[in-house]
Amino acid sequence: MGQSRIEWTEQSWTVVVGCEPVSAGCAKCYMASMAARLERMGVEKYSGLSELREGRAILTGTVRFWQPSLLDPLRQKKPARWFLSSMGDIGHATITDDELDQLFAVMSRGAQHEFYVLSKRVDRIARYLRGEARADTIKANALRLPGEPGSGFPWPLPNVLIGTSVENQVNADLRHAGMACLARGGWRTMVSYEPALGPVDWSGWEFLSWLISGGETDHMHRRARPHHPAWHLASRGWAESPPAFPTHSSSMATGHRWTPSRQSICRQGRRSSALMLLPVRPMPLSTFARGKKAIS
Ligand code: SF4
């Protein structure tokens, strides 16, 4: 468990760690170097997840369900926004349905929290959640967890948003069916259009609750790939009202406030700027009352 540096969330639930690249957006995944650093610090959870090749940390493809972290959200009474998982992808094939049952059971018991589940393998998540038997299995798992079970078991879980990352039109098209399936099943859905590597036409994505839009960020001396304000503007234009605020506060600190006219943020090698959009179907979240600043 740890405080997240990602602006749209507060806590990182790293119960699934490790991954392997699945699409273009993964090319500069920060996770390999982060895991390498944590392994050097002696954190067992991250051992063997990455290896050095030509001086650069590369993911080994090892994926781990770290049982000691399973109950982290239930140890915290104070409501928070939890990101699952900033150090892996719960949709990875090596994560079993039984393990997913445990994750969703914890999310059902952690009703005071909001959970943001992000996977580039969203088809698998959609397949896993399909069917009524899944709710029964998860409820049975939830009842076995320590502590007093709450009253009722709403399904789909109202405190969970399921999302995917989309970097360009090709992957938007590939991941649309899984997301639409989840939305039809009653789940609230989100897309992280970050890192944006090409324009995306969002027609047909009207079921989304959230669209987060942003560029790649320089990380560990790896230069961010360029993105264009027009892509974000088009996304914001597609969405309804645009209460938006920037992510990547470091960009803000250096004065790179994103505006449609600031083309310089798209130069190759510059730290990217980004913005978050909350437009599609405004959620009943207190999110934006928690010190986040809107830009117009
Ligand atoms: S799916 Fe996510 S965690 Fe896995 S390699 Fe790609 S960016 Fe990294």
Which residue has its alpha carbon closest to ligand 1 atom 4? 19
More confident residue, 38 or 218: 38
Query: Which residue's structure tokens are 């560990």?
Result: 220
> Is the CB of residue 31 below 6 angstroms from any atom belonging to ligand 1?
yes
Please name the helix (run of DSSP H) or strand (run of DSSP E) that holds residue 285, with its range, or none: none
The pLDDT of residue 39 is 95
- Residue 22 Cβ inside 6 Å of ligand 1? The answer reads yes
Per-residue pLDDT, 151: 80
- The pLDDT value recorded for residue 221 is 56
Which segments within 166-266 are labelled E, that is strand? 188-193, 210-214, 244-245
- Asked if residues 295 and 248 have their Cβ atoms less than 8 Å apart, the reply is no
- pTM for the full model? 0.82
Q: CB-based contacts of 16: which residues, under 8 Å, 6+ apart?
A: 63, 64, 65, 66, 84, 85, 87, 88, 89, 90, 92, 95, 99, 103
Task: Quote the pLDDT of residue 32.
Answer: 93
Q: What is the pLDDT of residues 62-101, one digit of tens each?
A: 999 999 999 999 999 999 999 998 999 999 999 999 999 9
Pairwise CA distance, residues 286 & 143, whole Å: 28
Mean pLDDT of 8-16: 87
Per-residue pLDDT of 224-239, as tens digits, reads 788 888 888 888 778 7
User: What mean pLDDT do residues 9-34 have?
Assistant: 92
Residue among 6, 14, 19, 90 whose CB has most ligand 1 atoms within 8 A, to mutate:
19
Q: Mean pLDDT of all residues in the chain?
A: 80
